[in-house]
Amino acid sequence: MQKFLVVGLGNIGSQYENTRHNIGFKILDHFAHKNNITFESNKLGTIAQYKFKGRMFYLLKPSTFMNLSGKSVKYWLSNENIPLENLMVICDDINLPFGTIRIKTGGSDGGHNGLKSIFEILQTQQYNRFRFGIGAKFSEGRQSDYVLGEWTEDELKLITERLDKSIQVITTFGTAGINNTMNTFNGK
């Protein structure tokens, strides 16, 4: 059975639960809810397993906080013997308008501390990323407050549809490959 590791980046703790920076956790929680699966606490994170069309998806929410996400990613890749090309990391992106989806096969960390940690631990930028646009509606010097701020009422009205689309991204990645996933969802 082919295995995939899908990592949602975020910070643990109720104070971060509804923040923009935790969109990775939010997407995986939505996936689990829609597919009636549950997360269990495990080493360096909470993990859920989902079998679909002959594939096993491991959904991981690192418990290491954002800045140390790489430790958790490396552990689970190794523990489950999952090849790097079957890794997808979900994170927020201030350089994309709210709700925009961008799938990439590599690239820089773009200033994202979770991606920076993964690069430092894995020693490569060549892994699949699912960037979810959160916009950049903040004044100079207020980026941290913005990404760690909660969703606005207008954003919350639109987010369910974007979460449903995000679930499709994950299953398409595992069943149709990264190139088809990029062609289908980028910019949508």
Q: Are strands 87-93 and 128-133 parallel, antiparallel or unpaired?
A: parallel
- Domain harbouring 62, CATH code: 3.40.50.1470
**Per-residue confidence (pLDDT) for residue 102, from 0 to 100:** 96
CB-based contacts of 176: which residues, under 8 Å, 6+ apart?
184
**Per-residue confidence (pLDDT) for residue 161, from 0 to 100:** 92
Burial (CB count <10 Å: 0-12, 13-18, 19+), residue 83: exposed
185-to-49, 54, 148, 168, 172 alpha-carbon distances in Å = 24, 23, 26, 9, 10
Range of the domain at 17: 2-185
pLDDT-based confidence at 108, cuts 50/70/90? confident
Read off the pLDDT of residues 9-57 as tens digits, 9 standing for 90 and up: 999 999 999 999 999 999 999 999 999 999 999 999 999 999 999 999 9
pLDDT-based confidence at 111, cuts 50/70/90? confident
How far is residue 59's CA from residue 51's CA, in Å, rounded to a whole number? Answer: 11
> Looking at the 3D structure of the chain, how many domains does it have?
1
pLDDT at 188 over 80: no
How far is residue 111's CA from residue 176's CA, in Å, rounded to a whole number? Answer: 30
Q: Give me the amino acid identity at 87.
A: L
> Annotated catalytic, 21?
yes
pLDDT-based confidence at 120, cuts 50/70/90? very high
SS3 for 105?
coil
pTM attached to this predicted model? 0.95
